[in-house]
Amino acid sequence: MMLFDAHCDAPSQMLRLRDFGRDNAFAQVDFPKMRRGGVEASFFALYVPARLSAEEGLAYLERLLGSLQGQLAAHADQAAPAMDEESLRKNRRRGLLSLFLGIENGHPLTAGGDFGGLLRRFYSAGVRYVTLVHSADNALADSCTGKGRWGGLSPLGREAVAEMNACGMLIDLAHAAAKTIDDVLACSTRPVAFTHGCCAALYPHPRNLGDAQLTAIADRGGFVGISVYPAFLSRQYQEALQSSGLGAELEAEDAFIAHPEDPARRTAWEAVQRRLLALPRSGVADVAVHIDHAVRVAGIEHVGIGTDFDGIEVAAAGLDDISRLGLVLDALRKRGYGEDALEKIASGNLLRVLRDIQN
């Protein structure tokens, strides 16, 4: 059964000098791990930090894309780009992993006042979804962790939705404020996605979807990807982190990001990761519970997996890297899911939404 991950932040790790062609220690994603886990396709998100201006973000986006293209060139015997179901199937026949591209944070596409031109430029480069907003409100929309600058979509954001509909770019609502989600659903003429998050009915994290939102996305033919981040699954990990005193030590990651070539900074961050991995956290069964809830609310045709690997410091217990993702399907089997339903969750639903968008 093919697994298709709707969201991981691997390109950010490429800038941190990870060689994706080898099996790396302390790596949530690389090509050998994907292959061991049966994850034949994944959306690699080009994540742009919210702190950057549109112009700075555009330059950073170009840097991420160049790094990813370099990895693909260096490991052409392991992975290849994919833009649709046809290219995915071609890669499978050749024994290659398929890398789809997304942009996480649409703010850089507003640089120079030419959203449509930049959107089409990155579409031509292979990008197939754009996450409108990240951790702060931007020129397009309000974030679920922002201050509510626009009360949902901005006027430019409404134009952006129309542009994305016109060129067949999937709109990703992860990180969006509830009113932003409502606005996009009201004005989009095509299905939308929420690529990575969990269910607010089970744990009311700001990044999680309420049942009404799950239903509304499904009613429009959309897709919801459930994450493996323990902070979205329950309060256990966050409480353990707060009581551990490790919060300040997370700055070791920032130091490593600034100078990934420095062995001492890499070692310091790995030491913190060891301690984070020892903290109590939700596990595989909890991921299955969130998927099951989403299916019960949205329907079996609209739910999949969007891990957020490489964008999270730790994953759910038992899912420390992408090679173990199949354990989620095993947990769903224990809950009574048959193979047809699992095929939809594993890859079928995400592929269907991409077909709908591109048609």
Q: What pLDDT does 358 receive?
A: 86
Indicate the SS3 state at residue 68.
helix
Q: Compute φ and ψ for 79, nearest 5 degrees.
A: -145, 155
Tokens of 111: 């640089």
In a domain, 265, yes or no: no
Q: How many domains does the chain have?
A: 1
Q: Domain range spanning residue 63?
A: 3-234+282-358
Do the Cβ atoms of 346 and 305 come closer than 8 Å? yes
Query: Going by DSSP bridges, is the β-strand pair 3-8/39-47 parallel, antiparallel, or unpaired?
Result: parallel
Q: Establish if 254 belongs to a structural domain.
A: no
Q: Answer whether residue 266 is part of any domain.
A: no
Let me know if residue 81 belongs to a domain: yes
For residue 330, the model assigns a pLDDT of: 98
The per-residue pLDDT for range 309-322, each reduced to its tens digit, is: 999 999 999 999 99
On whether residue 270 sits in a domain, the answer given is no
Ranges of residues in the chain with a pLDDT under 70 are none
Q: 153 Cβ partners below 8 Å, 6+ apart?
A: 140, 141, 142, 161, 180, 183, 184, 187
Query: Contact at 8 Å (CB) between 21 and 75?
Result: yes
Buried b (16+ CB within 10 A) or exposed e, 279-308: bebbbbbbbbbbbbbbbebbebbbbbbbbb
Helix (H) or strand (E) segment spanning residue 39: strand 39-47
Would you call 224 helix, strand, or coil by DSSP?
A: strand
Report if residue 227 sits inside a domain: yes
Residue 339 has what pLDDT?
98
CATH code of 128's domain: 3.20.20.140
Q: Is the dihedral of CA 124, 130, 136, 141 positive or negative?
A: positive
Helix (H) or strand (E) run with residue 244 in it = helix 236-244
Domain assignment present for residue 244? The answer is no
pLDDT for the residue 179: 98
- The model's pLDDT over 162-202, given as tens digits with 9 standing for 90+, comes to 999 999 999 999 999 999 999 999 999 999 999 999 999 99
Whether residue 345 contacts residue 57, with contact meaning beta carbons closer than 8 Å, is answered with: no
Contact 328, 287 (CB under 8 A): yes
Residue 240, domain member (yes or no): no
pLDDT number for residue 245: 87
Residue 174 has what pLDDT?
A: 98
The H or E element spanning position 46 is strand 39-47
With contact defined as beta carbons under 8 Å apart, do 314 and 237 qualify? yes
For residue 119 the two structure tokens come to 């959107």
| The two structure tokens encoding residue 260 | 């990934």
pLDDT, tens only, 276-290: 999 999 999 999 999
pLDDT at 249: 87
- Closest by CA to 7, choosing from 190, 227, 163, is 227
The full DSSP string for 262-292 is -HHHHHHHHHHHHHHHTS---BHHHHHHHHH
**102 forms bridges with which residues in the sheet?**
45, 129
Alpha carbon of residue 283 to chain centroid: 19
pLDDT for 303: 98
Looking from the CA of 3 toward its CB, the CA atoms found within 13 Å total 22
The distance from CA 348 to its chain's CA centroid, rounded to whole angstroms, is 17
